Structure 1
């Protein structure tokens, strides 16, 4: 009997973990436009999210030394596939989980050499959690109760800047579900 009870408890825990790891759709009633925020670009430029209000944007907190760093290739593939339809990806390197290279220059060089990232907008190394979180991530935490718990968490923004969906690190950028969400946002 004990084995059955533990088995059922384990099954519920596994289901709960699977659901929490997939991110979440944001209901239309709870959506709100994001504040006017700017990310400092890795090459000195600025990325003001309001300037992309006509685009669908995937914001991804990244780290070069993370086991999920291979997702850079899929992020670039998404960008290549959908850019002409009004889509972009913003990579936000962060050392909050101690897996980023020490300087912006090293991050940029590594991403170009290892993953062929040439034209993907990329912010400077940025705090994404806690009291020093960038205003975008502080807003996500306060408004949507979403704070990255690891590298390569993703946030899909619709045209106008509303949060459509959040994704966990394990959600592959080229997954069928993510492509479907992007395509739906591009049509809407």
Structure 2
């Protein structure tokens, strides 16, 4: 049975990264956009990252332009926007599709694990998936669920220590 650690993705800087590098961490995966009603959630995501990263938490941002062309920029423009406007320091990845025939394999897996209200489709930007230290999906949260509303779920997941490895 696959876990998040079985996938890789291209970082916003252009290098391929295995998500196994986040093994034993609690991960919040978010499809993002710079011109969305929910774009101010970058600030809340950064605050969560800054608050909990030393406890083994990370946010992974995946820009997506599939919803009303709300992420029109290229990777350099996205990276610049995130760092200068919202001071994002959590890992950002290259722009991907989250729905359809070109959807990233990670998102196909996430949607199979937590289908959501639209029969497995991502509804909009800033849909969030919380991943436990074991690499499995704990929950899926709508774009309207702000990062701050996930604090209790994140702290509960952080309290569960990873199982010892053989």
Per-residue deviation, 1:60: 0.3
Per-residue deviation, 1:35: 6.1
Instruction: Tell me, in whole angstroms, the C-alpha distance in 2 between the residues paired with 1:109 and 1:169.
Output: 23
Describe the SS at the equivalent of 2:61.
Answer: strand
- Of 173, 177, 185, 2:147 maps to 173
Q: TM-score, normalization: structure 1?
A: 0.78
Structure 2 partner of 1:65 = 35
Describe the SS at the equivalent of 1:112.
Answer: helix
Counterpart contact for 1:141–1:147, Cα < 8 Å: yes
Per-residue deviation, 1:32: 6.3
Query: RMSD of the alignment, in Å?
Result: 1.5
Structure 2 partner of 1:147 = 121
Counterpart contact for 1:32–1:163, Cα < 8 Å: no
Counterpart contact for 1:156–1:164, Cα < 8 Å: yes
* Unmatched runs of 5 consecutive residues or more in structure 2: 161-166
* Unmatched runs of 5 consecutive residues or more in structure 1: 1-30
Instruction: Tell me, in whole angstroms, the C-alpha distance in 2 between the residues paired with 1:116 and 1:129.
Output: 28
- Work out which of the two has the higher radius of gyration on C-alpha atoms and give 1 or 2: 1
Per-residue deviation, 1:71: 0.3
Describe the SS at the equivalent of 2:101.
Answer: helix
Instruction: Tell me, in whole angstroms, the C-alpha distance in 1 between the residues paired with 2:87 and 2:58.
Output: 16
Distance 1:35 1:76, change over 3 A: closer
Structure 1 partner of 2:80 = 109
Q: TM-score, normalization: structure 2?
A: 0.88
Counterpart contact for 1:94–1:127, Cα < 8 Å: yes
Aligned length, in residue pairs? 155
* More helix per residue: 1
Q: Deviations over 1:6-60 (max 9, x none)?
A: xxxxxxxxxxxxxxxxxxxxxxxxx963461111000123332222121000000
Structure 1 partner of 2:25 = 55
State how 1:115-126 maps to structure 2 within 5 Å: 115-117=86-88, 119-126=89-96
Q: Deviations over 1:56-91 (max 9, x none)?
A: 000000000001000000000000000000000000
Counterpart contact for 1:158–1:164, Cα < 8 Å: yes
State how 1:4-153 maps to structure 2 within 5 Å: 33-34=3-4, 36-97=6-67, 98-117=69-88, 119-145=89-115, 146-153=120-127
